[in-house]
Structure 1
Amino acid sequence: MASARPEMPTPPGRRPRRPAPTRQPLSQDLVVETAIGVLDAEGLEAVTMRRVAQELGTGPASLYAHVADKQELRELMLDRVAAEIRLPAEPDPARWREQLKEVAMEIRRVYTSHRDIAKVSMGLIPTGPNLLAIAEAQLGLMLAGGVPPKVAGLAVDTLGMYIDADAIEDTFYTATLPADVDPWEHFQKYVDQIRDYLKALPTDRYPHLVALVDDLTDQGGAERFEFGLDVLLRGIASYIEDGGRK
């Protein structure tokens, strides 16, 4: 058996060659993790099979052994992101509304921290284990509080649509801003401009808009989201008293 050739020394004036990094074997977890990295840096539209393959230093065809297509990849990304959502350990019947509100705000926090991932959730029937765990927790909280089962089943969908829509609107706004612009500061200036515009409207045509300018433009996105949640939760709670009648 021939012995291996001895390594050549580095010629004068040249840098020693670095050993090539060992490529990590492809797996579904690695593909999804890489795709989330692209999402966080560039947004959902940038997440294509070709782009993810480029990040992994391979060809798009190699990804299809681990995910069926771009849609499945997006759903797997969403479920992986959903694992970051903190859920209550146990339902507290006396605090079911507060707990349900905390879960909703936690979902919004996580979704908005991953650019426009909420687009994937909109219209999607959850089947991933982490998304199912969220639905299970929400149902458990409502049932513990006495919400009729049929109402609880419908309310999970309604809450999901509200959270998704709010998260998507938030990312649509921030996506239009340059990277060096503070979103909150920009929003405050924009609201001031809208407030001045509404106050200048003709009162004979828009009496209520002009009269309620301060109420219309008060509070930021988080406060408005919380208000909407309170409206929904009060509505869900009302079915406890009337026996679940719609």
Structure 2
Amino acid sequence: MFDEIYADFELPAPDPARWQDQLKEIAHRSYRIMISHNDLARAALASVPTGPNAMRVSEAMFGLMLAGFPHLRGHAEVMTSGAPGERFQFGLDLLIDGLRRYCG
């Protein structure tokens, strides 16, 4: 179901000058889609969406991050390797570090 809904998801061409705004636009569009389909977010949390449409959106978001931070390419292996629990911890650490920076 998740992948079917994301089949028509429009993605912007990466613009290094606007990468943050473009990521926010994609996130807001995803949020609106999830809200309009009540249990879609639960389905995505229960199992990481890996269908072709979900991967297309994920790859576009990653591409935007690379457009904004070319030095991330040197860290791609760290960002995508490891066991699922390790990748989860990495993402959680990034989230907490960002919150700490924002909150002081």
TM-score, normalization by structure 1: 0.30
Relative contact order: is structure 1 or structure 2 higher (C-alpha 8 Å, sep ≥ 6)?
Answer: 2
The letter for the 2-side match of 1:112 is I
Q: CA RMSD in A?
A: 2.9
Match of 1:117 in 2: 40
Aligned counterparts, 1:88-237, within 5 A: 88=12, 90-146=13-69, 148-149=72-73, 150=75, 153=79, 235=98
**Aligned pairs, how many?**
84
> Paired residue for 2:9, among 76, 82, 85?
85
Q: Which has the higher helix share?
A: 2
Moved over 6 A (4+): none
Report the identity percentage: 43
Contact 1:85–1:110 (Cα < 8 Å) also in 2: no
Shift of 1:123: 4.2
Unaligned runs of 5+ in 2: 81-86
The answer as to whether partners of 1:86 and 1:106 remain within 8 angstroms in 2 is: no
* Bigger Cα Rg: 1
Distance between the aligned counterparts of 1:137 and 1:82, measured in 2? 13
Give the secondary-structure state (helix, strand or coil) at the position aligned to 1:127. Answer: coil
Structure 1 residues without counterparts, runs of 5 or longer? 1-76, 162-231, 239-246
1:117 CA displacement: 1.2
The whole-number CA distance in structure 2 between the counterparts of 1:101 and 1:130 is: 19
The one-letter code of the counterpart of 1:146 is F
Q: Give me the TM-score of the superposition, normalised by structure 2.
A: 0.66
Contact 1:78 1:120 in 2 (8 A): yes
